[in-house]
Amino acid sequence: MLSDFTQASSSLRLDDSQIESDRFGLSVGRLNIPNSHQANDQQIVEICRDSKFQFLILRYPSSRVRLAQKLAEIQELVTYQADTLVYFAKDLASVKAQDAPSKDWMFRQAQPSDDAELTRLSKIIFEEYPNHYRANKLLRSDAIRDGFAQWAQVGLHDSKKLTVFVESLESKVIGFALISFDRDTAEIELNGIDPQAQGRGAYGSLLLWLSSHLATRGVKKLCISTQIQNERVIRAWIRAGFNFEFSLNTVHLMQPN
């Protein structure tokens, strides 16, 4: 999440990701390096080398241009870059309530009773979604897809988060967005449109509606992230007024056996 990389931290720690361990049948750990952390590259390498996890997911600022070479020198682990994540943000301070609602799409807050519909939709949206997991041949495709569905489900039942459905004028759910909050900043953690409904302006309308709705709730900044190769989505963000913030490299470090 955004706060993992923007909030100051005095120490680095490996986190045991039990939910991913259960999903993939491997012991999975995570190590996130905040943007302004003072640890040098060698310290990060040593933490990774000493890890006992079968599968370690490391995310660090792309500005650490020499870290990749140092990681590649860890002989005890199979190490490779799995993706580059880019964060964009939009200033909502000057955003006003929409003068006219969308003529083609409706938006509503999803409820816990929508769990089955959200699960169905998220599995469709993320069936072939390119992400760092898919760079790893040891991870099953269905487990990756189901992981995104589980993420959406957990968010739906979290009272501190907001899940919004996109519906056609016939009340068919064709998309969603999961939003988390940190004081006056919001992050779109997960979002997407059913492939069968793409190309008709639903996603752009969702971004504009969210900007307006969240601004009325006092949110000053709206953030979102995706893989760098997701050019179509990034172009939609730029059209909706989002600007590039920073990028992160994702590295997989695997025990050879």
Neighbours of 6 (CB within 10 A): 16
- Whether the pLDDT of residue 1 is over 90: the answer is no
* 227 in the same domain as 101: yes
Place 103 in a pLDDT band, splitting at 50, 70 and 90.
confident
pLDDT above 90 as % of the chain: 86
- What is each CA distance from 206 to 39, 59, 165, 199, 237, in whole angstroms? 39, 29, 9, 13, 11
Residues 139 and 166 in one domain: yes
pLDDT-derived band at 4, boundaries 50, 70, 90:
confident
Band the pLDDT of 244: cuts 50, 70, 90: very high
| Distance, CA of 61 to CA of 50 (rounded, Å) | 21
Answer yes or no: do 13 and 77 share one domain: yes
Write out the residue range of the structural domain in which residue 187 sits. Answer: 91-247
pLDDT of residue 11: 80
pLDDT in tens, 158-204: 999 999 999 998 989 999 999 999 999 999 999 999 999 999 999 99
Name which of 154, 146, 148, 147 is nearest 112 in CA terms: 154
Q: Do residue 152 and residue 70 come from a single domain?
A: no
Q: Are residues 110 and 205 in the same domain?
A: yes
pLDDT tens, residue by residue, 14-52: 999 999 999 999 999 999 999 888 899 999 999 999 999
Same domain, 204 and 145: yes
Q: What is the pTM of this model?
A: 0.92
Instruction: Examine the domain organization and report whether 38 and 54 are in the same domain.
Output: yes
148 and 240 co-located in one domain: yes
* Per-residue confidence (pLDDT) for residue 97, from 0 to 100: 67
Q: Say yes or no: 46 and 99 in one domain.
A: no
Distance CA 161, CA 142 (A): 26
Task: Please tell me the total count of domains within the chain.
Answer: 2
Q: Say if residue 134 is in the same domain as residue 225.
A: yes
- pLDDT tops 80 at residue 6: no
Residue 100 has pLDDT above 60, yes or no: no
Residues 61 and 167 in one domain: no
Q: Is residue 110 pLDDT above 60, yes or no?
A: yes
- The DSSP code sequence of 188-250 is EEEEEE-GGGTTSSHHHHHHHHHHHHHHHTT--EEEEEEETT-HHHHHHHHHTT-EEEEEEEE
CA–CA distance, 39 with 57 (Å, rounded to integer): 18
Which DSSP symbol is given to 72?
Answer: H
